[in-house]
Structure 1
Amino acid sequence: MRLPREDGTLHDHHPRADPVRHHPGPPPRSRAVLAAAHVVADPNRTAAGTPAALDWDATLAFRRHLWSHGLGVAEAMDTAQRGMGLDWPTAAELIGRSAAEARAVGGRIVCGAGTDQLTAPARDLAEVVAAYEEQLAVVEDSGAQPVLMASRALAALARGPEDYAQVYGHLLRQSARPAVLHWLGPMFDPALTGYWGSADLGAATETFLDLVAAHPGKVDGVKVSFLDAGHEVALRRRLPDGVRCYTGDDFHYPELIDGDDHGSSHALLGVFDPLAPLAAEGVRRLDTGDHEGFRALLDPTVELARHLFRDPTRYYKTGVVLLAWLAGHQSHFTMVGGLQSARSLPHLARAYQLADGLGLFPDPGLARSRMASLLSVFGVSQ
């Protein structure tokens, strides 16, 4: 195949001929592993600036694919385009439908609760709390475990750490199940700059840890997405006993999940959407103490992950959905809000090349044919 480079030139890629077989299996035992799942748009009803229209059959089928490989599903998170096209009414329906599917197959599911139904700036903290409570009720009524997502509305309104402590403290006290706290870095969402009341990462971390310590038994774990392994390890070592650290670091996940003499991270990762079969097989190797085998499987995937999550990081979803289409999990490359246009053709071509090299496509011939059709739309003939 002739694939475009960023400099405008073309180069030859020789696609893999035979697939690499990854078989379904039970959930890993040594780590909790969740994939933040993307949504499949309905290509016949999708338009920028309109409420999200999903292909429900394909969206739910992808979640069954994740569960079949033993991974848990992190639903209605940023990978599902929360705050980037997926409106709250559709997210609420997604939570209900996915939680029902999880019960049917016995799969683990956690779901994001935030404040994105607020389409205008919040007037006060009470309005932020009410929005969180509305979404938390939907998650809890579905039977899923809640993930308290970072709130743009709270970030815009809060005057300091005490406002975060007030809002999150109220939510944790009333949550029926221990929640996961989600700290999303500004590289994923610039509107969250200065979260926890300070632009200084050290000061914000102290506020975050104080909140966790102040609510024993109410926090299942924390998910940190900063693409900063050193920060995550330091935070992980200071968490109270029984509180998990779920890595959200799509750059350093092999070393963080593998761990060190002081512990290891669990996982809640968007990159495990396309990497699900490899990720599950790798962590099952950790179950047997085979750290070298785990790294042998996961280390080679980091180049693809770093490519998908390159700056501007928030557009990583485009590459994730491309790979789902190429792998045959959906029939088209259309995203909610037209986000398939957020990355350049050379970026998408490189994602295909790296994924093909890893053996991520169950049918390499189908992936090649679909990639060739995309290239032809842009005038790159084969």
Structure 2
Amino acid sequence: MRCVIAGGGPAGAMLALLLARAGVEVTLLEKHADFLRDFRGDTIHPSTLQVLDELGLAEEFHRIPHRKAYRLDLVTDTGTSRLADLRGLPGRYDYIAFVPQWDFLTLLTSQAAKYPSFRLLMNAEAYGLIRDGGTVRGLRYRDGDGEHELRADLTVAADGRGSVLRAAAGLTPTEFGVPMDVVWFRLPREDTDPGETFLRLSPGRLLVTINRESYWQLGFVVAKGDAELLRAAGVEELRGQVGRLLPFLEERVTQLRSFEDVSTLTVALNRLRRWYRPGFLCIGDAAHAMTPVFGVGINLAVQDAVATANIILREGPSAVRKVQRRRMFPTRVTQFAQRVAQRQLIKPVLAGSPRMSRVPDLARMPVINRLARTFIGKGVRPEHVAMR
């Protein structure tokens, strides 16, 4: 069997590794020259750590500089509450590991490169499909040398929420709408700063703060479409908002010199009704775009890849329908939870609702905390590597 995968993100890289180690001839295409894109999702949850453990890569992963988070805190104007405490989660891993996504992708692709059936093409942008009647038989891509064709028994679109191959296959996702976008940037961190990653909430303002040891990675959440209004108001407005939310950063916000230091994430929430055509399959963001809520995007993508490998290696490339059957339920449940969080938390906060000044400590409610830590840590229907 030959497989070609477009997109070197978590879904594509993990699937390529799983297929290569099983002896499948697999080519992975990445349209960029490297994996160094800033402000990508990089929360590695226990479900993904377990997959790495099953692949014998847990020890090597943990040698990558990372920070463990055992709980998720919410800081309001009146104090701190816990949204979830992962301690006590069944299994070997009861924490979220924060690691730059490029390091995670480098780990996966370098491991895949140890197998002779794996090939990685960088600067290779997929732009079309090869068809034989109603069946997809590969893809077309362009690189510095021109345009090329790659024929395969299975073509996988893992090329993100703006998937070109998904569109070429005539598949269109259903959009669910989101109330926010996120403005990402970084500021230096000092030893006297808070130690944990947390969510800072105040009526009208919401800030994601991720401890990167030497710096803070910050995500300023704005109402949908307001990123341009913020940009038009000038970087001084962003500095002021951040300084009021996090007084310990008030003097450091001047290091945001302009909006050249800022990256805007246009948030989307959608999914395909149908993920496949004969010989073709969408996984990860190409099948279902997730919002940053709960930070589960990478982990859903990895779970898709594991399920795809398990099914395809057992039943062959014609079993693409079964991948959707396996992964649609967890996708729907996760997106439902994200929509509830948007409606009950994010939208009221951005609208300035005063009732959001006080949020109960959910980790003190045993049943709710047990559900929350399982959902965040393990997800819905976690996958395991069938071929050890």
TM-score normalised by structure 1 residue count: 0.31
* More strand by percentage: 2
Q: Which one has the bigger helix percentage?
A: 1
Task: Flag the structure with larger Rg.
Answer: 2
Give TM-score, length-normalised by structure 2: 0.30
